[in-house]
Amino acid sequence: MSEERVLTVLGNKASRPISDFLMVNDYQGPKAGKYYVDLNVAATGGGSPDHPFATIAEAITASNTSIGLAANRWWARRNYIYVCGDGIKEDLTVLPEKCDIIGCGSDLVPYPRVIGHHTIALAKVGCRFINMGFTADGAGDLFVIPAGCHGLQFLGGHMQPAAAGSTKALEITDSALVVIQGVKIFQNPGAYGTGIFGIGISIEGILSTHQITIDGNWINATVGVKCVASSPAYDGVISNNLIHSVSYWVDDDSDEFHVINNRAITDIDTSTSTAGYDFNLKKASGNLQTGSQAGGTCDTVPFTLIAEG
């Protein structure tokens, strides 16, 4: 009967290799552009499955170094960062270039939760967050994305405000080809009614905010999705979302987003059927809105025309 052998490097040994938490048994190491993070280890390792990094930031640094090396010529490839951990605090300031950050393992949910706030300092392109949970640690914004982060994607996972509420879940400035899909932006469960984001998704800037897709999300916030007037969000789509808002569920001052097949509940009295939202009806189709008026009347947005007999 064989006995399992565990290699220890510099005293750092994970209780189980992070590859045990992956959907497949993937043991390709950092030389193949794969890095591993376990937020629960006592001491950081070198980014391998058995000896993972202790922070996401370390893995991002290693990934960006490898992508940028002329000797590697990895400029058109993608790296991967696999993360497990539960309720660990970390504030991100840098995104990985052309890289996926993938949540695995378990917390209360079947992916890691990172507690902090993430103000990104410099533009990086092609970053995707997949199956990652984020909880704000204060009243400010959870994520602040600067200009030039084109191709950014948030796929699955959740964003949660602090107990006293937080300003915005996701603020994106002048970044094109962004996808936000399958994300749950909800209240803080320990502070029902008060722990809520002021804005779920905020699109800002004056330049490249075109071709943004906001699809299939659950958003509970004072304002669901906001786009400023100066942001030319042409070819943008807000579709198939479930949104509960205190105020507007979509507030698109650019009048450029296509708003399609959403289901919305607003605390605004929508006895006047044009209340509850602000977007270009000429670029909208198939939405349903329920307001706070007596009887919970549901309206189609735009309005359904019934032909005269």
pLDDT at 10: 47
Is the pLDDT reported for residue 240 higher than 70?
yes
Greater model confidence, 19 or 189: 189
Residue 141: closest CA among 200, 182, 204: 200
What are the tens digits of pLDDT across the range 23-38?
544 544 444 589 999 9
Share of the chain above pLDDT 70, in %: 87
- What is the C-alpha separation between 257 and 233, in angstroms, rounded? 6
- What is the C-alpha separation between 176 and 211, in angstroms, rounded? 6
22 — pLDDT class (breaks 50, 70, 90): low
Residue 290: closest CA among 306, 279, 301: 301
Lowest-confidence pick of 10-19, 118-127, 152-161, 262-271: 10-19
